[in-house]
Amino acid sequence: MSIAIIAVGYNRPDSMKRLLNSIIKADYSDDVVDLIVSIDKGERQKEVINVAEEIEWGHGEKIIRAFTERQGLRPHILQCGDLTERYDAVVVLEDDITVSKGFYTYVKQVIQRYGEDTDVSGISLYKHRINPGNKRPFDPAESPYDIYFMQMAQSWGECWNRRMWKEFRRWYTDHGDMILLDEKIPEYIVRWNDASWLKYYNRYVVETGTYFVYPYASLTTNHSEIGEHASTEGIEFQVPLMDYVMEYRLPAVLQGIRYDIFFERLGIEKDVLPELHGKKMLDLMGTRTQFGDSDYLVSTQLLNYKVVKEIRLMYRPMEENCLSPTDGKGIFVYDLHHNAKVPQANKDIVTNYDLKGYSWRLILKYGVHSLKSALIRKVFHKP
């Protein structure tokens, strides 16, 4: 099995140097692994090329691919995926990423397990701790395994084998410009710039009902740096790295924990409030704006539908509150067939749950610091 690592860069030589240094430090055993440094045309392209030329790569061929004309992010990544015509699989890493020592071992094992599983459309090296749609914390349910599944594609470290990429490319040819808002996909993803390749891959994952494999311990971290598609930098998407090599316990898809693109648990619908007869939709993250043909919505949002039940928000992960419900506040069960006044509720319940019991003094300190930083960025355009 031939696996190539593709480091993707544009105008950030320091970021590329950091990424390449982390790739060099990883464990490859005795495998032959090609390293491709793919550099888009930009004002600092020569500097990025110099960084790529200076590093030594002893595990296979080092290929520097520098475009003579500007590609843009979406065409650039699509061309990287197309390299699966040459390799059995590719690992694509943009230059704001750092990888862990064990990332290659993880990728190799996961490809061997799910490479021909048509329920799997990609492999994520990153593990979300925050829902990017509303910045709320995300805690996936535990399991006896080392991975779980999400109907969400990944751009902060991803891998495709030839089969996965070919199936996406076939769909993209027919549907590449059709990103419509409905109950299947979050509104914030639909609003992403058309330069994003990721929103198209996300639509493909949702339309086909397939999954990305996600690790419980992240193999990449994201530095959220200023770049072509990010005007500010931050640390909210930096996560701890699982920085050692291990043998992964990998279940069949239906045996693993599964989440949809809204970060809502799948496969538990029958066990959630079984006394309600009808189609139930989970919205514990509070990001849904379209409800399709659902009869009931279990949500942390304040909406103008009839409330048929209230559940206390206390357990983690959030779906556990619906599997073992306790009367209380925080989660509303709405009858979507009947409108009503927006319920009166203590909005601090969800906030306190997300903040996990931090003291008010610490929250105030963080709030003042965040406000100060935001004002500085707004007024002086400083990171």
State pLDDT tens for residues 123-181: 999 999 999 999 999 999 999 999 999 999 999 999 999 999 999 999 999 987 778 88
Same domain, 79 and 189: yes
Task: Give the residue with greater pLDDT, 311 vs 345.
Answer: 311
**CA distance linking residue 249 with residue 253, whole number of Å:** 12
Write phi, then psi, for 363 (nearest 5 degrees): -65, -40
Is 265 domain-assigned?
no
Among 231, 259, 287, the domain-final residue is: 259
Given a cut of 70, is residue 227 above it in pLDDT?
no
Q: Please report the pLDDT score of residue 113 as a whole number.
A: 98
Residue type, 36: I
Is 141 domain-assigned?
yes
**CA distance linking residue 157 with residue 138, whole number of Å:** 19
Among 232, 259, 286, the domain-final residue is: 259
**CA distance linking residue 8 with residue 97, whole number of Å:** 10
**Adjacency order of strands within the sheet including 3-9:** 62-66, 34-39, 3-9, 89-94, 158-161, 120-124, 211-215, 147-150, 258-259
Helix (H, G, I), strand (E, B), or coil: what is residue 16? helix
The model's confidence at residue 258, banded by pLDDT at 50, 70 and 90, is very high
The model's confidence at residue 370, banded by pLDDT at 50, 70 and 90, is confident
The model's confidence at residue 229, banded by pLDDT at 50, 70 and 90, is very low
Q: Nearest CA to 136 among 326, 301, 327?
A: 301
Report the DSSP beta bridge partners of residue 312.
330
CA distance to 13, 156, 249, 369, 378, per residue, from 231 (Å):
18, 17, 39, 19, 11
Same domain, 218 and 309: no
Number of domains within the chain: 3
pLDDT, mean of residues 40-68: 98
Given a cut of 70, is residue 228 above it in pLDDT?
no
Burial of 51-78, coded b for 16+ CB within 10 Å and e otherwise, reads: bbeebebebbebeeeebeeebebbebbb
Same domain, 334 and 352: no
Given a cut of 80, is residue 19 above it in pLDDT?
yes
**CA distance linking residue 271 with residue 353, whole number of Å:** 23
Give one DSSP letter per residue of 70-124, joined into a string: ---HHHHHHHHHGGGGTSSEEEEEETTEEE-TTHHHHHHHHHHHHTT-TTEEEEE
The model's confidence at residue 300, banded by pLDDT at 50, 70 and 90, is very high
Q: 241: domain CATH number?
A: 3.90.550.10
Same domain, 240 and 302: no
Is 163 domain-assigned?
yes
Q: Please report the pLDDT score of residue 226 as a whole number.
A: 55
Same domain, 231 and 284: no
Angle made by CA atoms 50, 52, 58, in degrees to the nearest 5? 135
The token pair at 190 is 């639909």
Mean pLDDT across the chain: 93
Write phi, then psi, for 180 (nearest 5 degrees): -100, 150
Does residue 275 contact residue 308 with C-beta atoms inside 8 Å?
A: no
pLDDT, mean of residues 93-116: 98
Given a cut of 70, is residue 383 above it in pLDDT?
no
Burial of 329 (0-12, 13-18, 19+ CB in 10 A): middle
Same domain, 286 and 189: no
Pairing mode, strands 97-99 and 220-222: antiparallel
Terminal-to-terminal C-alpha distance of the chain: 43
Lowest average pLDDT, out of 76-80, 136-140, 274-278, 341-345, goes to 341-345
Does residue 51 contact residue 13 with C-beta atoms inside 8 Å?
A: yes
| Residue where the block lists tokens 């989660």 | 331
Same domain, 224 and 313: no
Is 266 domain-assigned?
no
pLDDT, mean of residues 309-328: 96
Helix (H, G, I), strand (E, B), or coil: what is residue 275? coil
Given a cut of 80, is residue 366 above it in pLDDT?
no
Q: How much of the chain exceeds pLDDT 90, in percent?
A: 85
Given a cut of 70, is residue 381 above it in pLDDT?
no
Same domain, 211 and 275: no
**CA distance linking residue 356 with residue 138, whole number of Å:** 12
Cis omega (within 30 of 0) for bond into 383? no
Given a cut of 60, is residue 3 above it in pLDDT?
yes
Same domain, 366 and 293: no
Please give the residue range of the domain that contains residue 368.
348-380
Given a cut of 80, is residue 110 above it in pLDDT?
yes
CA distance to 53, 68, 156, 253, per residue, from 113 (Å):
35, 39, 22, 11
Is 264 domain-assigned?
no
Pairing mode, strands 120-124 and 158-161: antiparallel
Same domain, 34 and 183: yes
Q: Please report the pLDDT score of residue 230 as a whole number.
A: 47
Is 365 domain-assigned?
yes
Same domain, 81 and 214: yes
**CA distance linking residue 52 with residue 7, whole number of Å:** 10
**CA distance linking residue 94 with residue 40, whole number of Å:** 11
Given a cut of 50, is residue 185 above it in pLDDT?
yes
Same domain, 17 and 135: yes
